[in-house]
Chain A
Amino acid sequence: MALAGSATAGGRRRARLRSTAMAIARFLVVVALTYLGLLAVTFFIGRVIPVDPVLAIVGDRAPSHVVERVREELGLNLPLYQQFVIYVGKALTGDFGISVLTSNPVMTDIRRVFPATLELATLGTLIGAFLGVPLGVLAAVRRGSFLDQVVRVIGLVGYSVPIFWLGLMALLVFYARLGWVEGPGRIDVVYEYTVTPVTGILLLDTAMQGEWEAFRNVFGHLILPASLLGYFSMAYISRMTRSFMLTELGQEYVVAARAKGLSERTIIWRHALRNALVPLVTVIALSYANLLEGSVLTETVFSWPGLGLYITDSLQNADMNAVLGGTIVVGSVFIGLNLLSDLLYRVLDPRTRAR
């Protein structure tokens, strides 16, 4: 009897493993197709916009044989489908061509600017989620109270005040007047060459190399823009948390949990929040993806050498390789975060696990 029991348990485990493997395989196919679609769109955009990459390189006074030669070098004389195949092949190896503006391979540039955005966006999202979720929960639990009103006003300000204005004001107050934080940029020039870039994420690099003075300096630069982005994502996350929690607190299982004699704390944080977390994962992932795109305005105000600033600069200089490369990075971030939130869905909600 016990033997039979363990055998079926083993069978169930194997079946579950198989279904998980199937789900992952299915997901990888979807990711591959989405990625192909993304490449097709960027390729198409690159061909239809009225920017001639050849002209951008040689200038409008070049003799016609030079123009022809460059066109051949870029492979632009080939039929469109061949160009696309070459484009996809290169994109898969991370080759997005040379940036006209910096004359570096686009990938090298992105490796330089993306960690700056990643560092800022990650800290911003962490601040937003760790403050936004509890605030939203408390606002839902004490609906109509003073705290609820405060959260509402925070959300309203977060939605309606332009970030560049708030950024400038924050710099004025906390940097210029109070001197609590460091100014624009990622790191002071003094420290710039004491750290060897390994990951490009300066907090990690300085910490790994034991440069604690530089670490403090980096943190001082980072904390103001990150708090600002964190504030805006907190505004969004807390509003969504509040509404998800109100839905969950009205469910029958909450009445049942009360009837069992559970404490309010257990009911709110263990029962209701665990259910509200399922849709919240998507909200947080989307707001993270939004920040990872590179928040151009914040990066401009804080002279943050990130992805948003890079793409905008490239756009203004008709640097198509860089723009398309940046676009693909942003698209990949979205695909990646979708993958992650789908996986988290399966962890958090047993109903979405494939049977």
Chain B
Amino acid sequence: MSALLDVENLRVSFPTRSGVVEAVRGVSFTLGRERLGIVGESGSGKSQTGRAILGLTPPHATVTADRLVFDGTDLLAASEKERRTLRGKRIAMVLQDPKFSLNPVMRIGEQIMETLAAHGRGSGAEARRRTLAMLEAVQIRDPERVFNLYPHEVSGGMGQRAMIAMMLVAEPDMLIADEPTSALDVTVQLQVLSILDKLVAERGMGLIFVSHDLRLVSSFCDRVLVMYAGRVVEEIAADRLHQSQHPYTQGLLNCLPKLGQSRHPLPVLDRKPEWAA
């Protein structure tokens, strides 16, 4: 399997008043047309890894890598214009909360059509037809109606499906899903996940699934990267998670609640400085 994305020694650092903070410190992995999960607690650098691949790191931050190649294109050497052409068309991203990630003053249909227009994939009637088809593909039953709604007029689950439609309508090869279900109700989470799963499988896309929910990631992905303090501490196949070697991964697993078992005292996650070294 040829690699879609090849990341080697990726580093993202932010200058702050108290010195340079390294959010991502030497992350390496490759991704084919598969589903890769990145797990970690808040501030472990998982989101910044995704954003660096898309080129959405804030301008004051520095991104370096030995290799950052997407399908033969060296992302670090590419111009801003080339990277913009890749965004949306070949690599897309689903964000966490549709309440904030959809523009509140634009109709949903308009926002989806905009993705097509940005990449010259038809305008007018053709773009509208494709948008409606995409809304149907994310299992919105009444696409004509939702097309004309504003983001505040739909539920969280519906909003997130619109978000997925907006990001997949230009048929990218790779999708970065940054906590796509964390802001949703538990009952809606599974629905949205199964839609995402189906679309990714049907279209043969590569998926990077960023989440703090280890169990969700292990049931949904083929492979899991566990991140801690900006580093990958363990890479493991999702179905072999219970055989994990690293104490941090074991600690995360141990934190999961178990049915029919009272746990006193609750297990506390170990954070050893040498793991971050």
Contact = CB atoms under 8 A, between A and B. Distances in A.
Interface of A: 5, 251-253, 255-263, 266, 271, 274-275, 278, 348-351
B100 A251 contact: yes
Given A258-B87, A259-B88, A252 B101 contact: yes
Interface stretch (B102-110, B233-241, B251-259): B102-110
Interface in B165-222: 166-167, 170
A278 B152 CA distance: 16
Leading 7 A-B pairs by shortest Cβ distance: A261-B88, A261-B87, A252-B100, A260-B88, A259-B93, A350-B150, A252-B101
Interface of B: 51, 54, 56, 84-89, 92-93, 95-97, 100-106, 114-115, 118-119, 144, 150, 152-153, 163, 166-167, 170
A261 B105 contact: no
A266 B152 contact: no
A351 B152 contact: yes
Contacts of B100: 251-253
B144 A256 contact: no
Given A261-B115, A274-B105, A252 B97 contact: yes
Contact of A259 (B92, B105, B106, B119): B92
Contacts of A257: 103, 114
Given A256-B166, A257-B114, A274-B103, 19 more contacts: A5-B144, A251-B100, A252-B95, A253-B100, A253-B102, A255-B56, A256-B163, A258-B54, A259-B92, A259-B95, A261-B85, A261-B87, A261-B89, A261-B118, A261-B170, A262-B84, A263-B84, A351-B104, A351-B152
B105 A258 contact: no
B105 A260 contact: no
B84 to A, nearest CB: 5
A261 B87 CA distance: 5
Contacts of B167: 259-260
Contacts of A5: 144
Contacts of A275: 103-105
25 contacts: A252-B95, A252-B100, A253-B103, A253-B104, A255-B56, A256-B93, A257-B114, A258-B56, A259-B56, A259-B88, A259-B93, A259-B95, A260-B87, A260-B92, A260-B114, A260-B118, A261-B84, A261-B85, A261-B115, A261-B170, A274-B106, A275-B104, A349-B105, A350-B150, A351-B104
B32 to A, nearest CB: 22
A253 B151 CA distance: 11
Contacts of B95: 252, 255-256, 259
Contacts of B101: 252-253, 255-256
Nearest to B100: A252
A33 to B, nearest CB: 30
Nearest to A144: B60
A252 B180 CA distance: 13
B92 A350 contact: no
A288 to B, nearest CB: 23
A350 B104 contact: yes
